C-alpha cells in the first residue's frame, strides 16, 4: 500500500463505524500488531519514552518522535498516526510546524494535547488552546492530502479542569476544524456519553481507566469512532518484566516464564506484519 493509499485509508476509517488503533512502541510490536489484524497504528509518547529509559513527561524530543514514527511507517503497510504530546511547543506556530514535519515523514495524522509538558500538566488558557488547534488544522489542510488532526482535551485526565470545561474545549476544537476529538479517561461511561452527545465530529476513546471495563462493541454502540490503547499494552509488557524478574530474583521461581510465546509464532507474526 502506497503512502497516498494509507492516508486515504486512514481518513476513511474515521468516517463511519468503529475501529481499534493499537499503539506499538518499536518495530517488532508494530509488525505483530499489523499481523494480528490492526487497520492502523499510532505511536505512544509514554511507550516510546519507556523504551528509551525516560519519563513520559516531555521525555522525547520532536526529532526523536518523528524519527520513531518514520521507523514505524517503514515497518508495516499500515497508516500511522503520531501521539505528539502538546505539539512540542507552546505557541500555535510550533504546533503548525510539528504538523508540517509530520506530513513530511509520512504520518497520516497526529494528536495534540492542550496541557503543558511540565510537572502538574497545567492547561493552556482557553483562547490559546483554541488558537493552537486552529494553527494545527490550518497546517494539516496545507498538506493538500488526507491528514487526521486529533484535538485532545487532557485536563480532565490530568486534573487541570473538570468535565464541563473539557466539553467546552472539545466543542471549541470542533469549531476550529479538528477532524477527531479526544478527552482521555473520563470518570466513567456516563461521562463518556456526555462527551459523545456534546459534539458531532468523530470521537476517540482511550482503553484505560474505567473504560477498560467496556468492550469494543459497547463503545461502538455508544458512538465512539476510534479506540486507542495509549501506553496500556506497553505497560502490560513492563508489568510482565517486573513480575517475572521479581519472581526469579526474590523468590527463585521461573513460573512466570511458562506463559512465554513460542519463538516460531513470533517469527511468523513479524514476517506477516512486515511492509510489503
pLDDT tens digits along 18-72: 999 999 999 999 999 999 999 999 999 999 999 999 988 888 999 999 999 999 9
Q: Which of 83, 29, 79 is nearest to 236 (CA)?
A: 29
Q: What's the average model confidence in pLDDT over 213-220?
A: 98
Supply the CATH number for residue 60's domain: 3.20.20.60
**Residue whose grid cell is 513479524:** 270
User: Which three cell numbers, joined as nine digits, stand for 109?
Assistant: 495524522
* Contact present, 34 and 78 (Cβ < 8 Å): yes
Q: Which helix or strand (DSSP H or E) is residue 80 part of? A: strand 80-83
- For residue 276, what pLDDT is reported? 62
Q: What's the average model confidence in pLDDT over 189-217?
A: 97
Encode 144-179: b = buried (16+ Cβ within 10 Å), e = exposed.
Answer: eebbbbbbbbbbbbbebbebeebbebbbbbbebbbb
| Phi, psi dihedrals of residue 208, rounded to the nearest 5° | -150, 165
Torsion 127-187-29-64 (CA) sign: positive
**What is the residue-averaged pLDDT of the chain?**
96
Find the domain containing 253 and state its range.
3-272
* Contact present, 173 and 153 (Cβ < 8 Å): yes
- For residue 129, what pLDDT is reported? 98
- For residue 85, what pLDDT is reported? 95
Q: Which of 47, 135, 40 is nearest to 86 (CA)?
A: 135
275: confidence class by pLDDT, cuts 50, 70, 90: confident
pLDDT at 187 over 90: yes
Domains identified in the chain, total number: 1
pLDDT at 100 over 90: yes
pLDDT tens digits along 115-162: 998 988 999 999 999 999 999 999 999 999 999 999 999 999 999 999
What order of strands is seen across the sheet that includes strand 109-112?
19-21, 226-228, 203-206, 180-182, 148-152, 109-112, 80-83, 41-42
Torsion 123-204-196-56 (CA) sign: negative
User: Which three cell numbers, joined as nine digits, stand for 251?
Assistant: 523468590
Amino acid at each position: 500500500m502506497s503512502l497516498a493509499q494509507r492516508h486515504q485509508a486512514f481518513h476513511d476509517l474515521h468516517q463511519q463505524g468503529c475501529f481499534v488503533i493499537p499503539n506499538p512502541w518499536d518495530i517488532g510490536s508494530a509488525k505483530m500488531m499489523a499481523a494480528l489484524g490492526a487497520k492502523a497504528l499510532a505511536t505512544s509518547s509514554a511507550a516510546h519514552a519507556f523504551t528509551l529509559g525516560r519519563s513520559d513527561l516531555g521525555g522525547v524530543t520532536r526529532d526523536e518522535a518523528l524519527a520513531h514514527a518514520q521507523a514505524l511507517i517503514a515497518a508495516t503497510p499500515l497508516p500511522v498516526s503520531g501521539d505528539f504530546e502538546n505539539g512540542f511547543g507552546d505557541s500555535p506556530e510550533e504546533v503548525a510546524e510539528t504538523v508540517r514535519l509530520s506530513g513530511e515523514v509520512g504520518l497520516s495524522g497526529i494528536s495534540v494535547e492542550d496541557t503543558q509538558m511540565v510537572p502538574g500538566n497545567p492547561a493552556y488558557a482557553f483562547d490559546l488552546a483554541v488558537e493552537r488547534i486552529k494553527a494545527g488544522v490550518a497546517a494539516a489542510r496545507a498538506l493538500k492530502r488526507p491528514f487526521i488532526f486529533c484535538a485532545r482535551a487532557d485536563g480532565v485526565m490530568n486534573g487541570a479542569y473538570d468535565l464541563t470545561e473539557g466539553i467546552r474545549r472539545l466543542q471549541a476544537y470542533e469549531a476550529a476544524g479538528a477532524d477527531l476529538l479526544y478527552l482521555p479517561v473520563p470518570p466513567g461511561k456516563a461521562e463518556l456519553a456526555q462527551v459523545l452527545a456534546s459534539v458531532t465530529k468523530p470521537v476517540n476513546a482511550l482503553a484505560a481507566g474505567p473504560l477498560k471495563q467496556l468492550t469494543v462493541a459497547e463503545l461502538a454502540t455508544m458512538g465512539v469512532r476510534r479506540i486507542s490503547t495509549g501506553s496500556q499494552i506497553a505497560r502490560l509488557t513492563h508489568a510482565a518484566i517486573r513480575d517475572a524478574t521479581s519472581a526469579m530474583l526474590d523468590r527463585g521461581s521461573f513460573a512466570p516464564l511458562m506463559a512465554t510465546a513460542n519463538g516460531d509464532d513470533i517469527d511468523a507474526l513479524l514476517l506477516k506484519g512486515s511492509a510489503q
